[in-house]
Chain A
Amino acid sequence: MKKNLKGNTVVEIVDVLNTSDVFKELSHPHSGGSCVFVGTVRGFTKNEQVLSLEFEAYKAMAIIEMEKIAREASEKWALNQVIVRHAVGTKQIEDPVVVVGASSAHRDDCFEACRYLIDILKERVPIWKKERFKNKSVWVSAHP
């Protein structure tokens, strides 16, 4: 599921996340730099070994929320390109699962925007992850 907003913003939910093209996608003649955050599957939670992660999305709403976050970032900072892309399905340790990025004329804008994109995504976008351990599986953040 992919949406291009005004030509300079891409929000997307994918089955497999490829991070190798992201710098090319963020490249822009008016940008002096790009900032990217990649979230990956961590193999340990509280010293307990994680076998895999499973991501589930309410896709239609997730795309809308991702668009809002990208738009908000574009209003707060002077950005030339914005990317918000998340994977769904079962992921293995070290797999990339989310990438957010921004490019701008000067570095402060894209650094700050990138932080905003990932922090608000984790707060608001209806995507859930289940950690699979050897003897149990747990929906992250579900319980206090």
Chain B
Amino acid sequence: MELLMFGVAKDIVGQSSFRFDEGDIIPKSVSELKDKLKATFPEFKKLSSLAVAVNNEYAEENEVLKEGDEIAIIPPVSGG
């Protein structure tokens, strides 16, 4: 499972994409993914919000993640 990183998320992870190690338990839902990210990178807990996009759409907490989905970590947006 590859995760795209933007803005401060990219700084926290240190790269523009991230993969969990082989052998890691792969999160099955958006909420599991967020929990795992926060456990792996505690800095994510300090953000004012954290959203996940699946295939270019904001995803609900209970959305199931499937092989081949494009998953992006969306820290607080600030365009404009």
Contact = CB atoms under 8 A, between A and B. Distances in A.
**A, B: real partners:** yes
Nearest to A137: B11
B47 A126 contact: no
Contacts of A124: 58, 77
A126 B56 CA distance: 10
Contact of A127 (B46, B47, B78): B78
Interface string A41-65: 0000000000000011110111010
A21 interface: no
B6 A126 contact: yes
Nearest to B49: A141
26 contacts: A39-B80, A58-B4, A58-B53, A61-B56, A61-B72, A98-B80, A118-B80, A121-B80, A125-B77, A126-B6, A126-B74, A126-B77, A126-B79, A127-B79, A127-B80, A128-B7, A128-B78, A128-B79, A139-B7, A139-B8, A140-B78, A142-B76, A142-B78, A143-B47, A143-B48, A144-B48
Interface residues of B, number: 20
Interface string A121-136: 1111111111000000
B75 interface: yes
Nearest to A87: B79
Interface of A: 39, 55-58, 60-62, 64, 86, 97-98, 118, 121-130, 139-144
Interface string B37-80: 00000000011100001001110000000000000101111111
A56 B6 contact: yes
A58 B79 contact: no
Contacts of A57: 79
Contacts of A141: 48, 76-78
Kindly list the 9 A-B residue pairs having the minimum CB-CB distance in the complex, ordered from nearest: A127-B79, A128-B7, A140-B78, A139-B8, A122-B80, A61-B56, A142-B8, A141-B76, A141-B78
A64 B48 contact: no
Given A58-B53, A58-B72, A144-B48, A128 B80 contact: no
A122 B80 CA distance: 6
